[in-house]
Chains A and B, each alone.
Chain A
Amino acid sequence: GAGVSQSPSNKVTEKGKDVELRCDPISGHTALYWYRQSLGQGLEFLIYFQGNSAPDKSGLPSDRFSAERTGGSVSTLTIQRTQQEDSAVYLCASSRGPDYGFTFGSGTRLTVV
């Protein structure tokens, strides 16, 4: 597609439920990133995929968070047993190389009630 597509755009879930957030990067972009942005805050790195290499998971805040990228394209971020502090906007970005800017999706606003 023309841009990075994220779904759903909004998600309200009950505390303790699992959620899945989807990211469809720009075709041909080998790098894919997930970030979290809490209200009024900066972007917190979560996880990074590059081609077929093992992902950099160093930013995942707990073992309740996991992500996968199938076929080097679509990625899913899963949060298990959601907590209220997980409420944030989850942004996905893709890039075609080290000297290029990242293209961000419009994000998924997650609200845990």
Chain B
Amino acid sequence: AQKITQTQPGMFVQEKEAVTLDCTYDTSDQSYGLFWYKQPSSGEMIFLIYQGSYDEQNATEGRYSLNFQKARKSANLVISASQLGDSAMYFCAMREANTDKLIFGTGTRLQVFP
């Protein structure tokens, strides 16, 4: 069965610094997609970035990049130049092609301080 693991319950980072949020996954499928979502205190789920299992390049979206290491089954999110507004919960998620079901990790709470 597929599984997503986020081992960091909380992270702190100073404004303007970069931070890496860890995510490892387990799947027997060859085709899958990896997602990161941000959930601020308001509760909304905001899609940040997507990486397909067959994508050769690491995904990037503005200040967000995904460090995809397929052999290690890791998909870490890198946020560059952190901003105070980045403070939120961050969820890693995976969808296997054969089920289309999106499974979430337990999340990492990121706090950015001045």
Contact check, A99 vs B91: say whether CB atoms are below 8 A apart. no
- A41 and B35 within 8 A (CB): no
- Indicate whether B112 reaches chain A with its CB closer than 8 angstroms: no
Q: Could you tell me if B102 and A104 are in contact, using CB atoms closer than 8 angstroms?
A: no
The answer to whether B50 and A99 have CB atoms under 8 Å apart is yes
A21 lies within 8 A of chain B by Cβ: no
Give chain A's interface secondary structure class.
Answer: strand
B35–A31 contact, CB under 8 A? no
A40-89 interface with B by 8 A CB criterion: 41-43, 45, 48, 50, 56, 58-59, 89
Q: Which residues of B contact A91 (CB under 8 A)?
A: 45
State how many angstroms separate the Cβ of B21 from the closest Cβ of chain A.
14
- The distance in angstroms between the C-alpha atoms of A31 and B44, with both chains bound, is 19
User: Complex Cα distance A108/B91, Å?
Assistant: 19
Q: Which of chain B's residues have a CB closer than 8 A to the CB of A43? A: 45, 91, 93, 104
New A-B contacts (4) at CB < 8 Å, excluding given A98-B95, A98-B100: A56-B99, A99-B33, A100-B50, A101-B50
List residues of chain B with CB under 8 Å of any chain A CB.
33, 35, 37, 43-45, 47, 50, 52, 91, 93, 95, 97, 99-107
12 contacts between A and B (CB under 8 A): A35-B104, A42-B91, A42-B107, A45-B104, A48-B100, A56-B99, A56-B100, A58-B101, A89-B43, A101-B37, A102-B102, A106-B43
A residues contacting B by CB (< 8 A) are 31, 33, 35, 41-43, 45, 48, 50, 56, 58-59, 89, 91, 93, 98-104, 106-107
Q: Closest 6 interchain pairs by CB? A: A101-B47, A104-B45, A43-B104, A42-B106, A42-B104, A42-B107
